[in-house]
Amino acid sequence: MPPTLQQIREEYQQAFTKYDGLRRTPPIEVSFYPYVGINHTIRIREGSVYVRIGEICRQMPLSAHRGLAHILVAKLYRRKAPAEKRQLYSAYIDRPEIRDRASDMKRERGRKVVTSSEGTVYDLDSIFAALNARYFKRRVKKPVLTWSARKTYRILGHHDATHGVISISRSLDSKSVPRFVVEYVMFHEMLHIVHPTKTDENGRRLNHTPAFRRDERKYFHFNAAERWIEENVRHLKREDKKKAKA
């Protein structure tokens, strides 16, 4: 039988006594929430603590809830939960059936906005094909390629493994952006297909492994692209704002 909400609440009370030096236990409300995938939140409002646990963990054993309680409460105090507590949680969520269920939930309930691979200036299909031939011997299976629905400046590209989509920020579809910059962002997202996310012994998800970083530097214009992005993305944002106001 899965634990009751009262049993889970008691785990959070015990976690607070560990991380709060004054040994105070605030009022705690625990509930399950239909997040997409494996997500949980903890918030403090007006002296009370509100914990929302992803619905996917409703059948999770009490020991794993104990680990999650320490992870979430430790974050509130800007501390790191002990390795043995993190392992209690990761031992459950890293099970293949849980990961598969999380992926299924994302496919069924997640939403991915797909516009078009053909931009005003750059065509993502041709960029992908050229990079695939030059760097990957055409071995990377082509995902859905799309420009983002709106212009973004902090995140220039994203690979969604669940939906099989690479999205490139529409802010780069501009004559003022060199082609090698767009290629570099696409190359980075293609590497996420070649080097899938891994989980280390502490339960941390590694999106950019050492092997990923080594391969990333193989892009011919790596240094120039990094430098251009660092020096010009903020200018792009300001120029786009000016155009929007005009």
Indicate whether 123 pLDDT > 60: yes
Q: What is the predicted pLDDT for the residue at 149?
A: 85
pLDDT per residue over 7-52, tens digit each? 999 999 999 998 887 667 889 999 998 777 788 999 888 889 999 9
- The reported pTM is 0.59
Range with lowest mean pLDDT among 88-97, 136-145, 203-212: 203-212
Pair of tokens at residue 151 = 């212009």
- pLDDT-derived band of residue 112, with 50, 70 and 90 as boundaries? low
- pLDDT-derived band of residue 245, with 50, 70 and 90 as boundaries? low
- pLDDT-derived band of residue 103, with 50, 70 and 90 as boundaries? confident
**For the chain, where do the domains classified as CATH 3.30.2010.10 start and end?**
124-245
Say what percent of the chain tops pLDDT 70.
Answer: 93
Q: Decide which of 3.90.79, 1.10.3430, 3.30.2010, 3.40.50 is the CATH code for 5-109.
A: 3.30.2010
**What architecture (CATH level 2) is domain 124-245?**
2-Layer Sandwich (3.30)
